[in-house]
Amino acid sequence: MRLLFATGNEDKVREAREILEPKGVKVEHLEIDYPEPQVDDLETVAREGVRYVFRKTGEPVFVEDSGLFVDALNGFPGPYSAYVHGTLGNGGLLKLMEGIRDRRATFRSVVAFCDGPGVSVHVGEVEGEIAGERRGTAGFGYDPVFIPEGTGSTFAEDPEGKSAVSHRRRALDSFAEWMGPSRA
Ligand code: IMP
């Protein structure tokens, strides 16, 4: 089965291929911008985005929206993760966390799929903590500062570990399970 993944992020496409292709789903990158409503939940952004793209293409398509929710910052940057990464970067996040002992954070991924009037949504989360400094060179975005629970390495230091436990892995596994062998 072949599925379109609408995103401007090549790294997300690479990760989605690593996760879905062994399950027999061929991921095709559709580079298209979709409007992101200024709301504070990832699910609404993903639902509205995938409806918009489906109206344009008429083909089965999925989108993915992610966010990093830091406990000590009351969930910030959450739905604003892309904006904060683009403006403050990892250095800015580390600065905000200076002197804060509670480093717990959750990465959340929402995958929304549309092949007709309905939209199906699949959520994946991984808990972890914000590192004291940037570590590692693999990956993208917040990977150098996010340490998943149970490991001492950031996503950027351990890309295989990331692929096994990430928020995206969990959301896409749930999506693939929902599609089932007959759809996939
Ligand atoms: P969006 O889903 O593209 O809106 O991503 C939100 C922000 O989180 C962007 O700054 C991404 O770079 C970052 N991000 C999304 N997924 C990951 C990931 O797997 N690792 C690190 N950063 C990520």
**Using CA atoms, how far apart are residues 53 and 41, in angstroms rounded to an integer?**
19
- Determine the atom of ligand 1 nearest the C-alpha atom of 68: 8
How many Å separate Cα 9 from the centre of its chain? 10
Helix, strand, or coil (residue 61): strand
The torsion defined by the Cα of 162, 168, 169 and 174, in degrees rounded to 10, comes to 160
- 182 alpha carbon – ligand 1 mean position (Å): 31
Predicted confidence (pLDDT) per residue in 53-110, tens digit: 999 999 999 999 999 999 999 999 999 999 999 999 999 999 999 999 999 999 999 9
Adjacent-strand bridge partners of 126:
107
Query: Residue 11's domain spans which residues?
Result: 2-183
**Is the pTM above the cut of 0.85?**
yes
Number of structural domains found in the chain: 1
Q: Residue type at 145?
A: V
How many other CB atoms are there within 10 angstroms of residue 8's CB atom?
12
- Determine the atom of ligand 1 nearest the C-alpha atom of 146: 21
- 109 alpha carbon – ligand 1 mean position (Å): 9
CATH number, domain with residue 141: 3.90.950.10
